[in-house]
Amino acid sequence: MRGFLTLIRLDMAIWRKTPWVIATALIPPVGMAILVTMLTFAVTRQPVALVIQDHSPQAQSMADIIRSDTDTYQLYQTTLAGAQNLLKKQEVTSIIVIPKGFGKALATDGAKVDLTLNNIDYDFADDIRRSISRSVAEFDAPELGVASSRSVGTSVIPSPYRVNPDETDLRKTDVDFLHYQVVPVLILLIINVGMLSSAVLASRDRERRTDRVLALAPVSPMARIAARLTGGLLVTFLMVIPVTWILVATHQIQPPDGHWWALIGVLGVTSLLSVSLGSLLGVALKKSTTVALAAVILASYLFFLGGGFTTIAFLPDWLQTVSRIVPTRYAIDALRQSLFYPDLSNVAKNLITVTGFAVAALAASVYTLRRAAR
Amino acid sequence: MSDWWAACRAGMRLQTQQFMKGPLLIVLTVVEALTFLALVSLFGLTGSKAPTALVVNDHSPLTASFVQDLAKDHDSFRLEPTTLAIAKQRLAAGSVVDILTIPKGFGASVAAGRTVVLPVTIDNVDTDLTDDIQRALPAAIQTFGLQHHFNGIRLAPVEHDLLSYDTAYVPYLVVSALGLDALVVAGALGATAMAGEWENKTLVQWRLSPSPMSGLLIGKLIAVVIVSTLAVWVAALLVFFGYGVHPHDAVGTLAALALCCVIFTALGAVVGNLLRRTLPVAIVFFGIALPLYIDSGSLEPERFDGHWLWFFGHATPVYAAVGVLQNTVHGLRVTPESIPVDLGILTLWALFSMAIAYLILQRSKAVR
C-alpha cells in the first residue's frame, strides 16, 4: 500500500513539474470555448439595412414588425443610398425596402417588400429569407409572427394563409445556444486532461527509460498499474473539480435539485474512460510529442462525433451510426440532460453505457500496461 | 554568397533528415489538419435541413403542394415521411428534431377557405434550433398561400440577389478551413523544427559553425514549407474531389495555399523560438486555429459580425488568406478589401514573419 501511494505521489509530482503538459491539455478546451462564444455572435443576429420610403401607417406597421424581430435583425434604418453604401462595404448582409406607395398597393393586394441580399453563402442568406418571409406573412396573419411563436397554444384564428402552426415543445426549458454548445467543453477538458495525464506519463517512462527503474521497485506490477491509473484520475479531478466549481459559483451552470449525483457520475465516469484511453495511447506511442498530438486528435474526434459541436440528428445516417460507438455521445447527452432539463430521462441509461465503455477501456489498459511492464 | 547557399542547402538537408527520422509527427500533423476539415464540415451540416418527421394524414393535391413547399423552404427541412408512432420514437431517440403532422381533411378545409391547425412538435434542445423551425414554417406557409393566390394576402416579399447563385455552406466552410489547415500544418511543423533545436541544445552549434545562421534558418524553413505545402495541397485535393468543390482558379488556390504555408512556417518558427519545447507547439496551433476560424470570415464575411470582430480579424494573416481563397475557389469577395490588397497583406506578413523569426533567433542568449 505504501509503495502504491508513493507511486501516485510520484506521478502527481511529475505532472506538477511539467506545466507545459498542463498547458497542452488546456489549450484545446479553451480554444473551443472561445470558438463557441464567438460563434454566438456569428450565427445569431444579422446586420440588415431598413429603408422606409412610404409614410403611410401601414408602412409604419410593417416596419414595426421588422423591428420587433430582434432575434434576427440588427437593424440600421437609413436611406436607400446609405443602405447601398453599407451593402457595398459589407457592413450589412441585406437591404429591406418598404417602397413608396406601399400603403396604397395594399388596397389592391399588390404590395411588395423588397429584399436585396448579399447571398455569399446559403446559411445566413436562408436565415434572412426565412425571417423576411415570416415578417411579411405576419403583416396579414399576426399568428405567424414572432410573438405567436413564443406563446403556447394556438386557437383556430382565421388566416388568409389558411394554415396556422400549433407548436408543442418537447422540453419545458429553453436553453440558449451559447450554454448548449459551451457546456460540453467540460467533457473536452476531461478527455484532454485525462488522456494527456496518463498518456504522457506512460510515454515519458519509456522515453526516459525510467520504466526500468520502476520495474526494480519493491511494488507488484498490478500495484504499479493501479497507481498509474489512480494518479491520472486524481490529476484529472484536480483540474476538473475547480473548473466545475467556478462554473457553478458564477452561475454558468446550475444543476436542478436532485441532479448533482448525475452530474458527478458523468464527470467521474468520463474521467475514468479518458485516463484508461490515455494509458493505451501512451503504451502504443513512444515519443511524448507524438503522444500529446495523438491524444489531442483523438479527444477532438471523441468530442465532435459525440455531439459536442453538433446536433447528432443533423448528421448523415452513417455518421449517426458511427457516433453510437463513441462513448462521449452518451456522456455529453447525460451532461446536457442533467444540467439543462428538469427530468433525468435517459441519464441512467447513458451513464451505464459510458461506464461500460470505461470498464472495457480500463481492462484493455490494464492488460497493455501489464504487458509493457514485463 | 556561396557560403550562404551551402548553409541553406545544409539546413534543408538537416530538416529533411529530421522529418525522415520522425515521419509519425508529419502524419499526425496532417491528420490534425484533416480533423479540422471534418470538424467544420460537421458544423456545416448542423446549420440547415433540420431532420423532420413528416406525418401525412391527408392525400389531396393541396397537401402535396404544401409538402413540396416545405421541402423547398430555403433548405430548412430534411423531410422524412413516416407514421406518428414511428415519428414519436425517432423524436425520443434524437434522430429527428421535430414532427410535422398534416391532419386529415387538410386539403378540403384549405380549399373551403378554412384555416387548418398544423401540429408541430419540436425537440427544443436549444433556442437556436427552435428559432430556425419557428422561422421556417411561416416561410413555407407564406409560399403556399402566395402560390395558390388565397384571398386576403395583400403583400409579398420580392428578392434581389447580388450573386446569381448561392454557395452551399459546407463547401464555403471547407475552403476557409484550408487556410486554417495551412496554419495548423505549417505553423506546427515550423515551430517543432525550431523548438527541436532548442530542446536538443543543437542551437549552440549553429553559432559555433562558420556558416551564416540566416542560411541555416532559411534552409530549414524551406524544407518545412515544402512538406507543409504538399500536406495542405493534399487537403485541398480532398476538398476539390472529396467534397466536389470545383475551383474557379485551381492554380491560384494552390499558389495562395503555398504562400500561406510560407507565412505560417515563419510564424511557427517564431513560436518555436519563444516556447523552445516541442510538446505543446502543435497543440498550440490547433488551439489557436479554433477561435481564429470564427474571427477570419470563415463562416460568413467577417464584416457581418460587427466592428470589433472585424477589427481583431485583421490582427492575423488568416483574414486575408480566407479572402483570397474564397475568391480563387468560389469567385466570391468576402472582404471589403480588394483581392490585390489581401494578396499584398499576405506578402507583407510573409516578409515580416521571416524577419521576426530571424531576429528572435539571432538575439537569443543561447546563440550569442
Measured between beta carbons, the chain A residues lying within 8 angstroms of B129 are 311
Q: Does the pLDDT of residue A155 top 80, yes or no?
A: no
User: How high is the pLDDT of residue B366?
Assistant: 54
CA-based R_g, chain B, Å: 27
What is the per-residue pLDDT across A208-262, written as a single tens digit (0 to 9) for each?
777 777 777 787 888 888 888 898 899 999 999 999 999 889 888 888 888 999 9
A116 in Cβ contact with A94 (< 8 Å): yes
Range among B161-165, B263-267, B364-368 rated most confident: B263-267
* H or E stretch at A353: helix A347-373
Shortest Cα distance, chain A CAs vs residue B1, angstroms = 37
For B324, the 3-state DSSP assignment is helix
Contact between chains at B172 and A121 (C-beta distance less than 8 A): yes
Residue whose cell numbers read 448579399: A118
The whole-number pLDDT of residue B360 equals 83
Within a 13 Å sphere around the CA of A74, how many CA atoms are in the beta-carbon half?
14
Number of A–B residue contacts, CB under 8 Å = 359
Q: Buried (b) or exposed (e) across B342-352, using 16+ Cβ within 10 A?
A: bbebbeebbee
- Cell numbers linked to A349: 441509461
> What DSSP string runs through A188-212?
HHHHHHHHHHHHHHHHHHHHTTHHH
A71, B131 contact by CB (below 8 A): yes
Per the prediction, chain B carries an average pLDDT of: 90
Q: What is the pLDDT of residues A193-218, one digit of tens each?
A: 999 888 888 888 777 777 777 777 78
pLDDT of res. B367: 52
For A155, name the nearest residue in chain B, comparing CA atoms only: B117
Of A21, A300, A320, the CB nearest to B39: A300
Residue B261 pLDDT level (bands cut at 50, 70, 90): very high
Sign of CA dihedral A173, A174, A179, A182: positive
* Across B168-182, average pLDDT: 92
- CA A117 – CA A129 distance, rounded (Å): 9
Tell me which chain A residues have a C-beta less than 8 angstroms from the C-beta of B157: 112-115, 132-133, 136
Give the tens place of pLDDT for each residue, B46-83: 878 899 999 999 999 999 999 999 999 988 999 999 99
Backbone angles phi, psi at B160, to 5 degrees: -120, 120
Beta bridge partners of A114: A97, B158
Flag whether pLDDT at B368 surpasses 60: no
Give DSSP secondary structure letters for A43-90. HS-EEEEEEE---SHHHHHHHHHHHH-TTTEEEEE--HHHHHHHHHTT
- Residue among A20, A160, A177 whose CB faces B280 most closely: A20
Burial class (CB in 10 A: 0-12, 13-18, 19+), B251: exposed
B204 pLDDT more than 90? no
B137 or B277: which carries more pLDDT confidence?
B137
Distances from the Cα of B171 to the Cα of A318, B40, B45, B47, B290, angstroms: 20, 10, 11, 13, 18
Q: Which residues of B touch A177 (CB under 8 A)?
A: 126-128
Candidate from B46, B159, B192 with C-beta closest to A311: B46
pLDDT of residue A81: 96
Instruction: Point out which residues pair with B158 in neighbouring strands.
Output: A114
| pLDDT at site B200 | 84
Report which listed range, A331-335, B3-7, B283-287, B356-360, is most confident: A331-335
Bridge-based pairing state of the strands A111-117 and A73-77: unpaired
Nearest to A263 by CA among A178, A188, A351, A349: A351
Nearest CA of chain B to the CA of A4: how many Å?
28
Contact: B48, A320; criterion CB under 8 Å: no
Do you know the residue count of chain A?
A: 374
DSSP B108-158: HHHHTT--EEEEEEE--SSHHHHHHHHHHHHHHHHHHHHHTT-TT--EEEE
Would you say residue B224 has pLDDT above 60?
yes
Q: What is the CA radius of gyration of chain A?
A: 28
pLDDT score recorded for residue B59: 93
Dihedral over Cα of B32, B33, B34, B35: its sign: positive
pLDDT of residue A288: 79
- Helix (H) and strand (E) counts for chain B? 14, 5
Which of B91, B142, B161 lies nearest to residue A117, judging by beta carbons? B161
- The amino acid occupying position B195 is A
ipTM here: 0.85
Residues of A in Cβ contact (< 8 Å) with B155: 62, 102, 105-106, 109, 111-113, 136, 139-140
Instruction: Say if the Cβ atoms of A130 and B95 lie within 8 Å.
Output: no
Determine the pLDDT at residue B87: 95
How far apart are the CA of A294 and the nearest CA of chain B, in angstroms?
A: 7
Cα of A177 to nearest chain B Cα, Å: 6
